[in-house]
Amino acid sequence: MHGFHIDEIESKSGLKCRMFLRREAIINRTNLGRLSREPGFRAVLNANDANWFKPSEQDRRIAGARRERPVPTLEDIKATLPVMPFGTHVEKRDRALLAFAILSGARDGAIATFQLKHIDLPKQEVFQDGRVVKTKGRKTFRSTFFPVGPEPVEIFADYLLMLKDDLAFGPDDPLFPSTAMGQGADRSFEAQGLSRKPWSTAEPIRRVFRAAFAAAGLPACNPHSLRKTLALHGDTLNLTREEEKAYSMNFGHESIWTTRESYGTLPPHKQAALMRRLAEPRAPATDNSIAAMRALLDRMEGGRAA
């Protein structure tokens, strides 16, 4: 019969923890439930004994605890792009991967399955077609490049030009094709340009990201962390309510609260900095600021009366 110890839970994280607990609980409860119905075991086992294998509330909280992962700032990404090599087709693809990820905010599974026809560069739009693109829940929506500056756009545009002019890629070819492998002069396998096949998984994309951030001397970050980068960047733009809704929809979210709760949490270092700032003395409110606040309240009261 299977069993597990709390040390096994602590050695795992996130989704793996929840899957581990669920699997172990189901196996043990199922086995015990079966034994309680078998001759020879009925006298010593009760079907309710299977509930013993249900994890405690404390264990569930440990398994579901959020482990903070590094989140690059927009400045980190802009510092990483220039140090990425771009002498070969493969290197240009890898650099364009990072540029497109911060422009689109797309998930890595979607990035691996985009085709050229899904990109409208003049309009800076991305058609995330759930019939072809592996979006979350196969949702279909259009998004526009996030406002992150001209450098990523230039890198991505240069890459598209290479695909179309140098490699004669067409609308149905993958936006980020896999690496073509072949035998080198020493009969060992080596990269030989780009194939016309898409990646079968998103793992190669994650390897590109790890290598790029390591070369820039930054902590390794996965593609999904850039969605949080973009959400935190949005907080610095002083968006109106309508603009914040558009910003949220660009992630594929139906609700602003989804964006805020999924990606709007502050990194620990930012939280600590803000808390330390609260300990600093602040200037008292001026007469002008108080008068402005009173005027705002008067306008709001007047609007309600009307």
The answer, yes or no, to whether residue 115 has pLDDT greater than 90, is yes
**How do strand 177-183 and strand 189-198 relate by DSSP bridges?**
antiparallel
Residue 273: the pLDDT is: 86
**In the numeric block, which tokens belong to residue 222?**
């996965």
Res. 3: pLDDT tops 70? no
Q: How far apart are CA 252 and CA 106, in angstroms?
A: 9
Q: How far, in Å, CA of 200 to CA of 124, rounded?
A: 26
Domain positions in the chain are 6-64, 74-235
Q: pLDDT digits over 141-154, tens only?
A: 999 999 999 999 99
Distance CA 181, CA 168 (A): 19
Question: What pLDDT sits at residue 139?
Answer: 96
Q: What is the mean pLDDT of residues 2-18?
A: 48
CB 107 within 8 A of CB 136: yes
Q: Is the pLDDT of residue 34 over 60?
A: yes
pLDDT in tens, 74-91: 999 999 999 999 999 999
**Topology annotation, domain 74-235:** hpI Integrase; Chain A (1.10.443)
pLDDT tens digit string along 254-271? 999 999 888 877 777 778
Cβ count within 10 A of residue 168: 9
Lowest model confidence (mean pLDDT) among 3-17, 71-85, 195-209, 241-255? 3-17
Residue partners of 191: CB distance under 8 A and separation at least 6: 90, 179, 180, 181
Contacts of 77 (CB under 8 A, 6+ apart): 98, 102, 148, 152, 226, 229
Q: Where are the beta strands (DSSP E) in the chain?
A: 119-120, 125-128, 141-144, 177-183, 189-198
